Amino acid sequence: MKLSEIGEFGFIDRFSGKFSALNKNEEYGIGDDCAIMPLDDQYNQIVTTDLLIEDIHFLRSAITPFDLGYKALAVNLSDIAAMGGTPSASFLSIALPADTEVEYMDQVMEGYRSLSEKYRVPLLGGDTTKSPDKIVINVCVTGKVLKGKAKLRSSAMTGDYICVSGPLGDSAAGLNMLLNNINPDNQTKNLISWHNRPEPAITEGLWLGRQEGVNAMMDISDGIASDLKHILTRSGKGAVIHLENIPLSEALRATSRNNTIDVLKFALSGGEDYRLLFTVQSQDFEKIKKDYNKHFQTPLTCIGKITEENPGEIMWMQENRPFVFQKGGFNHFSQ
């Protein structure tokens, strides 16, 4: 049997149960944005890791080396943000073909350092090795969160409002432009820059992490059609999503007018948005939304509600009528 037949999550399911007996007290492992381990009396440590492979996650011709370094760290900081945590350190493993230009790698490291400085996250170690042909980058980031305060995927409650921290689909639309050599204009070039240099929602995540009314949280890396299901499965709940409430940027709407692309497909299953997806208790929603919008430029948007019915399933609604949405999120190993 090939991996492509069982997919990424099928593979993880095959071994994760066999390892869980080794977990100690206060340790939570595979299945959330970060693992959780005890740190000291006050804090737990959170850890995440992400692997980027040339020609799978990026094309050398479509991203500057600076952005590549920036993004490699950003996607990990986004996982720390998703737990409501503060990043503390990073570890970088890189495999490089021997004929890689030193100046190219200097730029990769400059991009990485620029984001490290923004959030004061030191680079404390790593591994550097030769690769046969592709550039391989693995980043591991540690962070901390007050004990018992990490926002988990498993904490959604019936009646919660489902919210996102910014517009969806920009990254996927940017990737689509890159892959199809669509020249960006002033309005649509933002889509490409969000794809190549996403900004992790560290400050938003920390703020949301402090709100008691925020129940479940994760970051959107595979598209909400796939990611929201992780929250639903782990919380044992269902969801209703109102498509007309999905926030879309002006840039994405403009692309749609110019190129007749399927905006909704990008917004729901495009992936790499790195926005936060979270659920808020209904009685706290209005206050949290108001306070959030005072703190942050990009408004908090409610896109639906958590339901008791149909656990693990999303009911898509468009103007109060059910909508059949087939395409799931990105699944690794599919050919």
Kindly identify the residues of this chain, within the stretch 70-109, that bind a second copy according to CB under 8 A: 88-89, 91, 93-103, 105-106, 109
Q: How many residues bind a second copy (CB under 8 A)?
A: 80
State yes or no: 298 annotated in a binding site: no
Q: What is the C-alpha to C-alpha distance for residues 311 and 295, in angstroms, rounded to an integer?
A: 34
Q: What is the CA radius of gyration of the chain?
A: 20
Cα angle 168-260-186, degrees, rounded to a multiple of 5: 65
Shortest reach from residue 250's CB to a second copy, in Å: 32
Among 163, 192, 161, residue whose Cα is nearest residue 178: 192
Q: What is the C-alpha to C-alpha distance for residues 40 and 147, in angstroms, rounded to an integer?
A: 9
DSSP string, 278-298: EEE-HHHHHHHHHHHHHH-SS
Q: Indicate whether 125 belongs to the interface with a second copy (CB under 8 A).
A: yes
> From the list 25, 61, 129, 183, which residue makes contact with a second copy (rule: CB under 8 A)?
129
Q: Indicate whether 124 belongs to the interface with a second copy (CB under 8 A).
A: yes
The nearer residue to a second copy, 50 or 160, going by C-beta atoms, is 50
Q: Indicate whether 39 belongs to the interface with a second copy (CB under 8 A).
A: yes
Q: Token digits for 142?
A: 């540690």
Binding flags for a second copy, 135-164, as an x/- string (CB under 8 A): -x-x-x-x----------------------
Q: Are 74 and 199 in contact (CB under 8 A)?
A: yes
State yes or no: 262 annotated in a binding site: no
Q: Are 81 and 206 in contact (CB under 8 A)?
A: yes
Binding flags for a second copy, 46-75, as an x/- string (CB under 8 A): -xxxxx-xxxxx------------------
Q: Are 256 and 188 in contact (CB under 8 A)?
A: no
Q: Are 235 and 155 in contact (CB under 8 A)?
A: yes
Residue 115, judged by CB atoms within 10 A of its CB (0-12, 13-18, 19+), counts as buried
Q: Indicate whether 323 belongs to the interface with a second copy (CB under 8 A).
A: no
Q: Indicate whether 173 belongs to the interface with a second copy (CB under 8 A).
A: no
The nearer residue to a second copy, 73 or 214, going by C-beta atoms, is 73
> From the list 210, 257, 295, 332, which residue makes contact with a second copy (rule: CB under 8 A)?
332
Span near a second copy by CB under 8 A; candidates 34-42, 161-169, 235-243, 250-258: 34-42
State yes or no: 244 annotated in a binding site: no
User: Binding site residues for ATP, as ranges?
Assistant: 126-127, 153, 221
**Residue list for the binding site for substrate:** 57, 272, 330
